[in-house]
Amino acid sequence: MLSVEIIISYLNYDGKEYGCIWSRDITARKQLEIALKKAHQLLECRFEERTAQLKEVNEQLCREIAERQRAEVELKKQVALSHRCVVELQQVSEPLLTETESPSASQSLFPNCPQLSEVFNFIESNYQQPIGLGDVAKAVGYSPAYLTDLVRRLTGQTVYRWIAERRMTAACSLLQETDQTIDQIAKSVGYRYAVCFFRQFRQSFGMTPQVWRNAQRESEAID
């Protein structure tokens, strides 16, 4: 049996009505309908899969944004904490001064230890130069090993650590009070290479010098 579609219709042409009969094979149309139906089902499946993927991506983005916001809040807290620590350290360790005396960075940073006064005086006078343990030991007449043991025993810290702390204190002042570049500040506080300054600053404050400077200025602007 042939699959034939017969269509009867009327046409209006030039004021006259004509009866028309069309016939055509509808086998191909049925096959097309089946193919279209399968294609529609496939598209629906793909649409659902794609929707699920997009939903997952959107949720991931939301999580990342929330995590970044939390990290920014934590960073600001660390900046504020580091600033308070520097201020408190200077206030707590600052010795009593007479009216004619003015406080110096060495007095506010280094402990009052007569046995090590030469050591700290040398660091204070030379921290802006690329000095190390050997330079300090030579200046005070001790061997590096003996000086290391003596300073650690009396202060709980190494000579290198005291040099680094003095440099970091000076660096913080320059970052806050001047517009010098990071490279300029690094050289001003005794580092030959800026990368060494970056590493020490990050170790001391948990962030880069530029981030610390920006955070301090934002805090001052808010205050």
The pLDDT of residue 99 is 39
Length reported for the chain: 223
Answer positive or negative: Cα dihedral of 37, 40, 41, 42.
positive
**Ordered structural domains, the chain, with CATH:** 109-222 (1.10.10.60)
Local mean pLDDT, 10-residue blocks, the chain (223 residues): 58 69 60 67 76 81 81 68 56 43 57 93 96 96 96 95 96 95 96 95 95 90 71
Task: Report pLDDT for 79.
Answer: 61
Q: How is residue 123 written in tokens?
A: 């660091």
Supply the pLDDT for residue 87.
52
Distance CA 102, CA 104 (A): 6
Specify the pLDDT at position 101.
40
Q: H or E element: which one contains 167? A: helix 159-177
Query: For residue 163, how many C-alpha atoms fall within 13 Å in the half-sphere facing its CB?
Result: 25
